[in-house]
Amino acid sequence: MKVSRLAASGALAGAAVLTLSGPAFAHVSVQPEGTAAKGGYAVVDFKVPNERDNASTTKLEVTFPADHPLASAMPEPMDGWKIHVTKSKLAKPLEVHGKKITEAVSKITWTANGKGIEPGYFEKFPVSVGALPEDADELVFKAIQTYDNKEVVRWIEVQQDGQEEPENPAPVLTLSAASEDGHHGSTAAEDASAETTTAASDPAATSDGSDTTARVLAVVGIAVGALGVAYGVLAGRRRTDA
Euclidean distance between the first and the last CA atom of the chain, given in angstroms as a whole number: 110
Residue 171 and residue 139 in contact, taking contact as beta carbons nearer than 8 Å: no
**Whether residue 218 has a cis bond before it, omega within 30° of 0:** no
With vertex at residue 29, the alpha carbon angle to CA 26 and CA 31, rounded to the nearest 5 degrees, is 135
Quote the pLDDT of residue 192. 33
Residue 23 phi/psi, 5° resolution?
-60, -35
DSSP classification of residue 169: B
The number of beta carbons lying within 10 Å of the beta carbon of residue 214 is: 10
Helix (H, G, I), strand (E, B) or coil at 157: strand
* Among candidate residues 145, 156, 142, the one with its CA nearest the CA of residue 112: 145
Its pTM stands at: 0.65
Q: What is the dihedral of CA 148, 153, 156, 159, to 10 degrees?
A: -140
How many CA atoms does the CB half-sphere of 21 hold within 13 Å? 6
Q: Rounded to whole angstroms, how far apart are CA atoms 230 and 237?
A: 11
Contact 65, 140 (CB under 8 A): yes
Mean pLDDT, contiguous 10-residue spans, the chain (242 residues): 48 42 68 95 97 96 94 96 96 80 94 96 97 94 98 94 89 89 42 36 42 48 50 48 50
* Bridge partners (DSSP) listed for residue 176: 37
Distance CA 115, CA 148 (A): 9
**CA-wise closest residue to 171 among 151, 188, 156, 186:** 156
CA distance 163 to 28: 20
Give the C-alpha separation, 237 to 229, whole Å. Answer: 13
Alpha helix segments (H runs only) across the chain: 2-25, 188-201, 203-241
At 225, give phi and psi (nearest 5°): -65, -40
pLDDT value of position 221: 53
